[in-house]
Chains A and B, each alone.
Chain A
């Protein structure tokens, strides 16, 4: 099993709902709290598992704005795990989820150096590295209704731009989406083989616009009454 997310850039409007739902769930979750620094002050910041960036592709007036959510990609070849000297970072064999054991982490930041996706953030208060858990405390919680056993970001996404599933299972919805929509991985050249995939914007099918009615102004005079009963 290889659990992960598929993110549809065609419909992501960049609303940050996923990021905040994630923060909300995980603040009180297994690796919570997630510290917020200077929360009322000059320069507020904090620990987040999920961040949304916004890009522009091309130039005005043909530019396109892309909203780009990023969290842990739960890489197949996760260097963050191999470089970890303490064994705090690990990848679960059964489902591929990459986690940090908060009881083992010494806060050396080395795993964050090995991560190309900026998925790991140090919590200065606990002195430990924190990251997306794929809401492991939701997806395996048998007491939650089945449809809610999903990561908080996926549950909340108003544009349904996030899908959760088993990328190893060719029959899963996520695998199908990747196949059909040309899903891709970020920074493939680095060889991390990230589990999370991104679906590129769709190409809209053209609408015939060559047709014309009568076309010419002069014809307007021909606008004639028809009997339409009411």
Chain B
């Protein structure tokens, strides 16, 4: 699949935003490290809102006919894309009210209830984003529960990294945040490792099942058009095996390896290091997301000559 920048940015940013918000809320709820200052809390909340909002906005950039974008909420009963939109939009009022009450430090119970609902919507949105891809039977690399799981984990992981940086800068007792980030880092590495292992295993549709000629070797003679079509542009993207390997290594290096060395410092962690680790993670996630799209092979490619996806 063509790795469109707008979609990569959207998923990474909104994932981080939702993750950040959820963790922020949990930190509030459980007084993690004694709780963040109101300023830090507000900053983190604002960042989360910006990430989510910016991401959502950028997702509309790839629409060919954005004037109809408002209709995208109508089919929430069947469409994960619609659900994502509905949940994301539902998230905002709760999240904003929660943050306002937190900033004003009033009505704690109400705040926590509002925050709880915001979290639910954040989770639902994150899950929906994953399901947008996972529900597609046409793309075997996506059609797995590992995808929404990874979206959830990676979103929380990147959120945790941001939260850790804020905790460090705000002078909070950051160790619990560091532990949280570390735990999520391990989960992220684990789930992506499983995913990458799983995705390498060839299975599913082939050019034979696509054409119905299952007894002999089938090869494409001609696609019936000399130059590109919507289909070749949208689905024809291919990434070389070497590049794929490099990107995977890049993901593990940036999103897990380098941050790990920093998070392993425990109490000695400096704010600058945490910041660098956070940047590494976000960069790693961009690589991960790029590969997530680039590596996905739509079955329509079988009709264009691919032996399997």
Q: Interface residues, chain A, CB within 8 Å of chain B?
A: 16, 19, 43-45, 47-48, 51-59, 65-66, 68, 70, 79, 81-88, 103-110, 112-118, 121-122, 124, 126-128, 184, 186-192, 198, 200
Q: How far is the CB of A157 from chain B (nearest CB, A)?
A: 15
In the bound complex, residues from chain B placing their C-beta under 8 Å from that of A191 are 137
Q: Which residues of B contact A (CB under 8 A)?
A: 1, 62-69, 71-76, 78-82, 85, 132, 135-139, 204-205, 207, 209-213, 216-231, 234-235, 298-300, 302-304
B136 and A88 within 8 A (CB): no
* Pairs of residues from A and B, 6 with the lowest C-beta to C-beta distance, nearest first: A107-B64, A127-B65, A127-B64, A85-B82, A86-B71, A106-B68
Q: Are A83 and B72 in contact (CB under 8 A)?
A: no
**A108 CB contact (under 8 Å) in B67, B81, B219, B231:** B81
Known contacts: A113-B139, A184-B212. The answer to whether A56 contacts B221 by CB under 8 A is: yes
Contacts A53-B224, A55-B218, A57-B218 given: A86-B229 contact, CB under 8 Å?
Answer: no
Most central of A56, A88, A118 by chain B CB within 10 Å: A118
Given the complex, which residues of A lie within 8 Å of B222, measured CB to CB? 53-54
Closest to B73 in A: A85
Task: Give the residue of B85, B135, B220 whose beta carbon is less than 8 angstroms from that of A85.
Answer: B85
| Additional A-B contacts beyond A54-B224, A85-B76, A88-B68 (10; CB < 8 A) | A43-B227, A43-B228, A82-B79, A106-B64, A107-B63, A107-B66, A110-B132, A115-B138, A116-B138, A118-B303
Instruction: Give Cα A86–Cα B81 distance, bound, in whole angstroms.
Output: 9
Q: Which of A19, A79, A81, A105 contacts B137 (CB 8 A)?
A: A79
Closest to A45 in B: B227
Could you jot down 7 A-B contacts, CB within 8 Å? A57-B217, A57-B218, A79-B136, A86-B72, A105-B68, A108-B72, A116-B298
Q: Which A residues lie within 8 Å of B234 (CB)?
A: 109, 112-113, 122
Task: Give A45 Cβ to nearest chain B Cβ, in Å.
Answer: 5
A98 to chain B, nearest CB (A): 14
Measured CA separation A120–B283 after assembly (Å): 34
Cα–Cα distance between A16 and B64 once the two chains are bound (Å): 29
Of A54, A82, A104, the contact of B220 (CB 8 Å cutoff)? A54
Question: Which residues of B lie under 8 Å from residue A189 when comparing CB positions?
Answer: 204-205, 209
Q: In the complex, which residues of chain B have a beta carbon less than 8 angstroms from the beta carbon of A19?
A: 224
Nearest residue, chain B, Cβ from A42: B227
Most buried by B among A43, A57, A200: A57
A122:B79 contact, CB within 8 angstroms: no
Q: How far is the CB of A126 from chain B (nearest CB, A)?
A: 7
Q: Are B228 and A84 in contact (CB under 8 A)?
A: no
Chain A hits for B304, CB < 8 A:
53
CA separation between A208 and B260, bound complex, in Å? 77
Residue picked from A47, A59, A70, A113, most chain B C-beta under 10 Å: A113
Closest to B213 in A: A57
Given A187-B210, A189-B209; A52-B224 close (CB under 8 Å): yes
Q: Are B78 and A82 in contact (CB under 8 A)?
A: yes
A109 to B304, CA, bound (A): 19
Tell me how far the C-beta of A65 lies from the nearest C-beta in chain B, rounded to whole angstroms: 7
Task: Give chain B residues whose Cβ lies under 8 Å from the Cβ of A65.
Answer: 221
Q: Across the interface, which residues of B come within 8 angstroms of A127, CB to CB?
A: 63-66
Docked-complex contact A83 and B80, CB < 8 angstroms: yes
Q: How far is the CA of A189 from the CA of B137 in the complex (A)?
A: 10
Contact check, B74 vs A87: say whether CB atoms are below 8 A apart: yes
Contact between A128 and B211, CB atoms less than 8 A apart: no
Q: Within the assembled complex, what's the spacing in Å between the Cα atoms of A116 and B217? A: 21
- The answer for the CA separation of A47 and B231 in the assembled complex, in Å, is 10
Supposing A56-B218, A191-B137 touch, asked if A200 and B212 sit within 8 A by C-beta, the answer is yes
Contact status A54-B221, CB under 8 Å:
yes
Query: Does the CB pair A186–B223 fall under 8 Å?
Result: no
In whole angstroms, what is the CA distance A93 to B278 when docked?
A: 52
Known: A85-B81, A106-B69, A118-B303. A128 touches B221 (CB 8 A): no
Give the Cβ gap from B269 to chain A, nearest Cβ, in Å.
42
